[in-house]
Amino acid sequence: MVFLAALVGGWIAERLRQSPVLGYILGGILVGPYVLGLVHDLELLQDFSEIGIILLMFTVGIDFSLSRLEKVKKIALLGGALQISGVVLLCTGACYLAGINLYQSFFLGCVAAMSSTMIVLRILGEQGESNSLHGQIMLGILIVQDLAVILMVSLLPELHQASLASIPQLIFPLLKSFLFILFIIYLAQKVSPLVFRQAAKGSNNDVFLILALTMGLGIASLSHALGLSVALGAFLAGLVISESEYTHEILGKINSMRDAFVILFFVAVGMLVDPLALLDNIHLLLILLAVIIPGKLFLLFLIVKFLSYHSRIAFLVGMGMAQTGEFSFVMAKLGLDEQLISSDIYNLILASSIISILLTPLFIRMAPLCYLKLSRTRVWQKLFPEADLEESEFDSSELQGHVILVGYGRVGKNIGQGLQQIGLNYIAIDYDYHSIRSLNEAGIPYIYGDASNEVVLAQARPDLARLAIVALPDLFSNRQATYNLLKLNPNLIILARAHNEWEKEILYQQGAAEVIQPEMEAGLQLMRYLILHLNLPLEEVDKYLETLYIKDHEAIIHKKDIIAKREKNLKVREFSVGPGSPFAGKKLIESQIREKTGCNVVTIKKAGGELLLNPSSKETLDRDDLVVVMGDSRQILKFAQLNGGELQHG
């Protein structure tokens, strides 16, 4: 019955694009004694779920890597510490004022400070934003939170009976924990690699599994014997194994068993929830949700903003982490089992966690749109004044015939290097300080600001650009940037990136000339190498290529028709610059031909015979020069009227 509940709950969660954890908990609530009452004897299930906690913390330790924290250690350590401290204080104060005793208020604060590593990283991965700046900041803070959980599960039981007079007595447990952690780190670096290397020499593959479980349960038992948390011991045991080169082989063997016990744990968590009891404490639930969602969001926004990041980055981080996480359930179960919290507080923790996690996918996907709307309001602009623009040392009036590179992240940086190699002038737009710093050091023209903002894009002179490349990490920003670029220059060719077919179609509809899907290109490149390295029959290769390209045939033809139609409407005409022409004696940038007529100057034939193809904005139009312009009929007519010279070729 337990696994049936987990199966049904997991299936529903998958259909709703939610974490399976929520499905398991909801399944437990459904079959538990407070709803359908299909399961009454919880003692055996509780014993198995304890093993689930140990295995969960064990594999978290195995998968933990300080090298991941190294990449974003500044924002992670300071930002994570400020966020955890701020949420704990905010929640403790709010709950204490609402009538909950001080210790349980503090316990709720510790729970509320956590966010869901599993949920956040999964959604960021689906949207292709794991390596974005806000994604990396979230990852760093989540790692610090995971470390804080280990400290919390060790200290919360000790603090239960603590008073001001007993605070000095807590120094000994802290010192004991510190020495134990140092001992485990020594084992991880010096002993563990040798032990697993010897085990690898044998022919019995089960040795890894037996050795890993023995080490995990042994260190967890040792931790318990020393009066420390079993969860702390399990995490440290995993940390020992993480330093071995056989980590992935061990994880592969233990994951399936871990998943089974972890499912039992989350189902058991759900069975202890009494939905009716929440009705008596609905005001407390609303207070806790207010701390977790708007309170945590605003606090994270202020912290990231304080650490000198753009307000858009700060807002995306806040929206993405406004929930509790998997370890909130672990801490809630620990608190209930050791009678640190009441059943009412336990119900509050689970209800607030489930609600906040359910809202997380919506928050992350809607964050760019919400930021755009908020940033345009007067209240936001007064509370968080921020210059949208920070130009590098370049003369924006000299921009002409350039490429606009919207976004200078992983993809944009590679594109920029390619543009430099082939000698194309470009200007980059980004709001990532790291990207701006590298652009500044390389002497590349840049604009600092939100590239989906029309005001920012206008500074890059899309009206004079040859082409724009939109390489931002999320769909909304790409779509908004494409829309605003075409608004500023309807004839601009735009190349964009997408993460899936749905995004690709939306960007095409928005007006992008070409949309690239990196994952698809990677797959095609791998297939090209496969064909090169394998001696495949030519007939099979031809059949594959035909299947590959035929599906896009109609779209390609349709796109060519659009381009041909647009080009057909454009005309090229040659005029002489007469003595009365307002353009005579002026540089192209001063003449404002593009702004006044809509025409582009493609060639200048100097009176002395010199031919200037695709002239720069610094070139001067002299009397008796011949100028070749391109535009539609209306634009050509307007140029002719302003120029006043003779049309040389019709």
pLDDT at 614: 67
The two tokens of residue 393 are: 């040392």
pLDDT at 166: 58
Let me know: does 38 contact 31? Beta carbons within 8 Å.
yes
CA distance 604 to 612: 5
- Could you tell me the mean pLDDT of each successive run of 10 residues in the chain, 650 residues long? 71 73 80 76 64 72 62 78 93 92 91 84 71 79 82 78 61 72 74 72 67 75 74 74 67 69 75 78 91 94 86 89 83 84 88 85 84 81 63 63 86 86 86 76 82 81 89 83 88 87 83 82 74 73 60 48 52 82 86 83 82 76 86 83 65
Of 126, 98, 215, 228, residue with least CA distance to 173: 228
Contacts within 8 Å (CB) and 24+ apart, 219-225: 219/184, 220/54, 220/58, 223/180
Let me know: does 10 contact 39? Beta carbons within 8 Å.
no
Alpha-helical segments (H) within 343-459: 343-375, 378-383, 410-421, 433-442, 454-458
pLDDT at 94: 93
User: What Å distances lie between residue 5 and 24, 255, 264, 268, 576, CA to CA?
Assistant: 7, 21, 10, 11, 83
Of 68, 53, 48, residue with least CA distance to 242: 68
Let me know: does 119 contact 323? Beta carbons within 8 Å.
yes
Task: Give one DSSP letter per residue of 27-80, joined into a string.
Answer: HHHHHSTTTT------HHHHHHHHHHHHHHHHHHHHH--HHHHHTTHHIIIIIH
Cβ neighbours for 14, distance < 8 A, ≥ 6 positions apart? 20, 23
Phi, psi of 648 (to 5 degrees): -85, -40
CA distance 94 to 290: 10
Cβ neighbours for 490, distance < 8 A, ≥ 6 positions apart? none
CA distance 61 to 146: 10
Q: Which residue has the tokens 């000299």?
A: 398
